[in-house]
């Protein structure tokens, strides 16, 4: 009787079982798909499986005629066990990093929002007045001012934000009314209204106050031309405030006019946000020259203390090149924290919030929190100047 081949057609008579006619394994050349002998499960309930078969699943070592099992995670024999650190992807969390991403995001959100008030950032020995300036628009001046102020206020610091931009975007980001008729910084500059009568508390953020800006501020530069000591109007208003703040952030307009000069005269430090693109570097030289002129003639204590890189896109080589150029030129003045491009940062103002409260677990909120902490630590380590 001829021996059964692995390519036998279904429906042909199966040879009767018996010890003298064992079913032999299929040869290697046979196609594996229609193979009957290669299957570890018997095709029928006939006692054929009771005969000794060399390719039985119980056999620990396969014979040379057995088909090779496909390599896969769900089929075939169990994979050999490797050591704890062998062949493990770097993406795989270790024993001490086994928290899921959602848990890590929730942990960051609690750290940033600080609902218990237990986490505090160091407070400076004396008030720090920072002017956030860059004559190029769209580099993140207002976004940086709002989010740094909220981050510091949420962690135990008293913060005042002075919106010196006629667009009033900082007031919008802090959800402070700034429509026509609201007392604003224009009244302080032109009519000598005390700053305490203009400042408004920010809802939901303890220890944070904002001096809003309305459209009236657009004509302030023209009206200040004939005013005596026009460059120091804002400095006198801030120094006359009865309450002392740990931080005063002045959000400047994208220009080098009298409003920006007032901010430079009132500040001790300059924080320059730099977008990680080439155009942002072009006007930086002119800004530094203006700061030097103000230092020579109006404010000898003024210092460019902090550079913050914003809108960093790690997918491009240009962002890396700009970062390296800025760090090589300004050295330790550049913060280690870099603000990435993040849609949550752009969405937050439409809800009248900062990204710190809108999505505290996002990359943008985490980056601004790290920047605020770095500014606070630098101020303490260097005696009040970042």
- In tens digits, the chain (386 residues) has pLDDT values of 445 455 444 455 555 555 555 555 555 555 555 444 444 444 444 444 444 444 444 445 454 455 544 444 444 454 444 454 444 433 444 444 556 777 777 887 887 888 777 778 999 989 999 999 998 888 999 999 999 999 999 999 999 999 999 999 999 999 998 888 889 999 999 998 999 999 999 999 989 999 999 998 988 888 988 888 889 999 999 999 888 899 999 999 998 889 999 999 999 999 999 998 888 888 788 889 989 999 999 999 999 999 999 999 988 899 999 999 999 999 999 999 999 999 999 999 999 899 999 999 899 999 999 999 999 998 876 654 43
DSSP structure string for 215-239: GGGGGHHHHHTTSTTGGGHHHHHHH
User: Which alpha helices (DSSP H) does the chain contain, by range?
Assistant: 101-113, 141-153, 169-173, 185-191, 220-224, 233-239, 258-266, 278-282, 284-297, 317-330, 343-347, 355-358, 363-381
If phi > 0 it is left, if psi is from -120 to 50 it is alpha, else beta; for residue 175 that is: left
- The pTM of the full predicted model, rounded to 2 decimals, is 0.72
CA angle 135, 269, 354 (to 5 degrees): 70
């Amino acid at each position: 009787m001829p021996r059964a081949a692995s390519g036998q057609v279904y429906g042909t008579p199966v040879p009767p079982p018996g010890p003298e006619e064992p079913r032999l394994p299929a040869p290697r050349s046979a196609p594996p798909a229609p193979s009957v002998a290669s299957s570890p499960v018997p095709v029928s309930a006939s006692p054929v499986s009771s005969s000794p078969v060399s390719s039985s699943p119980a056999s620990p070592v396969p014979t040379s005629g057995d088909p090779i099992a496909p390599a896969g995670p769900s089929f075939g024999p169990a994979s050999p066990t490797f050591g704890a650190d062998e062949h493990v992807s770097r993406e795989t969390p270790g024993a001490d990093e086994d928290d899921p991403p959602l848990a890590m995001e929730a942990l960051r959100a609690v750290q940033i929002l600080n609902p218990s008030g237990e986490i505090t950032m160091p407070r400076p020995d004396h008030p720090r007045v920072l002017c956030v300036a860059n004559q190029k628009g769209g580099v993140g001046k207002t976004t940086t001012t709002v989010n740094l102020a909220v981050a510091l206020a949420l962690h135990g610091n008293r913060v005042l934000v002075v919106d010196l931009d006629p667009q009033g975007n900082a007031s919008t980001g802090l959800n402070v009314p700034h429509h026509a008729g609201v007392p604003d910084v224009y009244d302080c500059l032109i009519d000598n209204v005390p700053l305490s009568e203009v400042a408004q508390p920010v809802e939901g953020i303890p220890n944070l106050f904002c001096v809003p800006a309305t459209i009236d501020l657009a004509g302030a530069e023209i009206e200040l031309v004939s005013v005596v000591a026009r460059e120091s109007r804002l400095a006198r208003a801030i120094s006359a405030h009865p309450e002392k703040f740990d931080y005063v952030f002045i959000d400047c307009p994208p220009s080098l006019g009298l409003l920006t000069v007032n901010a430079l005269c009132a500040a001790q430090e300059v924080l320059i946000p730099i977008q990680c693109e080439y155009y942002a570097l072009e006007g930086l030289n002119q800004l530094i020259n203006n700061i030097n002129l103000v230092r020579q003639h109006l404010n000898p204590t003024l210092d460019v203390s902090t550079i913050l890189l914003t809108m960093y896109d790690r997918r491009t080589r240009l962002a890396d090149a700009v970062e390296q150029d800025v760090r090589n030129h300004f050295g330790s003045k550049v913060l280690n924290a870099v603000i990435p491009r993040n849609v949550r940062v752009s969405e937050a103002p439409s809800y009248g919030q900062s990204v710190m409260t809108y999505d505290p677990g996002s990359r943008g909120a985490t980056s601004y929190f790290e920047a605020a902490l770095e500014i606070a630590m630098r101020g303490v380590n260097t005696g009040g100047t970042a």
